[in-house]
Structure 1
Amino acid sequence: MLGMVLAAGAGRRLRPYTDTLPKALVPVDGETTIMDISLRNLAEVGLRDVVIVVGYAAQAVHERKAGFEEKYGVRLTLVHNDKAEEWNNAYSLWCAREHFAQGALLVNGDTVHPVSVEKTLLAAPETSDILLAVDNVKKLADEEMKVTLDEGGSLRRITKLMDPAEAYGEYIGATLIRPAAAARLADALKATFERDPQLYYEDGYQELVERGETIHAASIGEVDWVEVDNHEDLAKARTIAVRY
């Protein structure tokens, strides 16, 4: 199984930091970046082969590749998303389809969370080929990627376009993808971005559900974490990253 980080986005709401850097390389604790935290977490759970999907300002990741490898004891493979500034991340994850065919623990490159999230996913019972990390403690608002589950605990809906009061919780941007799901996931992602290039990879998960796929969720418990979309999120990230 590989570690995988989606880090192709431009992060325009974080300018001027992202004038020359991808969002994943924005610092959150001194010189420690969001990417540092992602790689540190993956290495801590034994995932030392890591694929990073790059796009916007990819050269900045290339320039730090050797340093990351030495610091965290990982081997990095960079996969290029040639449409990172035009299309959304359903295409971005599809670009890494040959790699997640080996199985992958995927994390979004803009999420600051503790390694307990990765540990929760890896320790969960093998009840489905795709397992989502979900926060069912946090109070939700409109921006979050929300989920509902059926009576058996399987994913029913995953979308931002949901009344927060209806949601079970928030998908936090971490997924365990087992090899058996890879071909079906790649096909669903392709159908998703061909339908609308601006859709998210989570819409690919919804496509799988509508095709009859079982996707389960693992609750992460009461955890301090944040998806860094704007300067307010960045300020929060900087208050919690120092505690990891």
Structure 2
Amino acid sequence: MIGLVLAAGAGRRLRPYTDTLPKALVPVDGDKTVLDLTLANFAEVGLTEVAIVVGYRKEAVYARKAELEATYGLTLTLIDNDKAEEWNNAYSLWCARDVIKRGVILANGDTVHPVSVEKTLLDARGKGQKIILALDTEKVLADEEMKVITEEGKGVQRITKLMDPATATGEYIGVTLIEAEAAEELADALKTTFERDPDLYYEDGYQELVNRGFTVDVAPIGTVTWVEIDNHDDLKKGREIACQY
């Protein structure tokens, strides 16, 4: 199993930081970025290889590749997303379809979270699950969150931002464990998703899998402070909590 980071997005709501940097390289703790924190998490749980999907301002990630490898003791492979500024991240995850065949822990490049999330996902393995989503079941939800409805024994039933928060079981935080056995079915679902509408999320690919009868499981992360950094308010919160990890 290897790590996988989606770091291709433009992050326009974080300008001027993202005028020259992808969102994953915006500093959140001194010189440390979200990418630094994620790579540190992967290294702590014993991963030795990480693939990073890059696109917008990808030259900044290429420039730091050797330094990041040396700092975290990881071998990094960069995967170019040629449509990063045109299409949404269903296509971005599909670009990594070959490395997913090795089994991955996937992390969005804008999610500040502690290593306990990766540990929770790894601890949840071993019961036949093929895809396990990290789920926050304690946060009070609003309209922007990627909300999930689960059913006992059947896993995810719905995953979308477009639902009444009061009906949701919790929020998907942007970290997933994907076993190698799920790679081909996931790649096909993602392809179907972005061919239907290139502006769709990879979570819509998860929904496509569910609609086909594939079981997508969840692992509640417990009481964890984390944030998805979309705008300057999120960045402020990210900087407040990143130093804790």
TM-score when normalising by structure 1: 0.99
In the alignment, what sits opposite 2:219? 218
Deviation track 1:153-203 (CA, whole Å, cap 9, x = no partner) reads 510000000100000000000000001100000000000000000000000
Instruction: Identify the residue that residue 61 of structure 2 maps to in structure 1.
Output: 61
- Is the Cα–Cα contact under 8 Å of residues 52 and 78 in structure 2 kept in the other structure? yes
Tell me, what secondary structure is at the counterpart of 2:223? coil
| 1:144 equivalent in structure 2 | 145
CA positional deviation for 1:110: 0.3
Q: 1:133 maps to which residue?
A: 134
Q: Secondary structure at the match of 1:148?
A: strand
The answer to whether the aligner puts 1:75 opposite 2:78 as a matched pair is no
Counterpart position of 2:47: 47
Question: What is the match of residue 118 of structure 1?
Answer: 118
Matches within 5 A, 1:72-111: 72-111=72-111
Aligned Cα RMSD in Å?
0.6
Letter of the aligned partner of 2:202 in structure 1? Y
Aligned residues: 244
Could you tell which deviates more after superposition, 220-229 or 153-162? 153-162
Task: Output the amino acid matched with 1:185.
Answer: L
Aligned match of 1:186: 187
After TM superposition, give the deviation of residue 12 of structure 1 in Å.
0.2
Q: Are 1:9 and 1:84, in contact at CA under 8 Å, matched by a contact in 2? A: yes
**Structure 2 CA distance for partners of 1:125 and 1:76, relative to 1, 3 Å:** closer
Partner SS state of residue 83, structure 2: coil
Give the corresponding residue for 2:15: 15
Q: Equivalent residue of 2:163, what SS?
A: coil
Query: Matched residues in 2 for 1:45 and 1:37: separation?
Result: 13
C-alpha contact 2:29 2:239 (8 A) present in aligned 1: yes
Aligned partner letter, 1:215 = V
- 1:144 deviates by 0.3
One-letter code aligned to 2:93 = L
Percentage identity across aligned positions? 68
Report the Cα distance in structure 1 between the residues aligned to 2:152 and 2:102, rounded to whole angstroms: 31
Instruction: State the distance in 2 between where 1:125 and 1:28 align.
Output: 31
TM-score normalised by length of structure 2: 0.99
1:152 Cα offset (Å): 1.8
Partner amino acid for 2:225? Answer: D
Once the two structures are superposed, residues 87-143 of structure 1 have per-residue CA deviations (whole angstroms, 9 ceiling, x without a partner) of 000000000000011100000000000000000000114331000000000000000
| Helix, strand or coil at the partner of 1:182 | helix
**Structure 2 stretches of 5 or more lacking a match?**
none
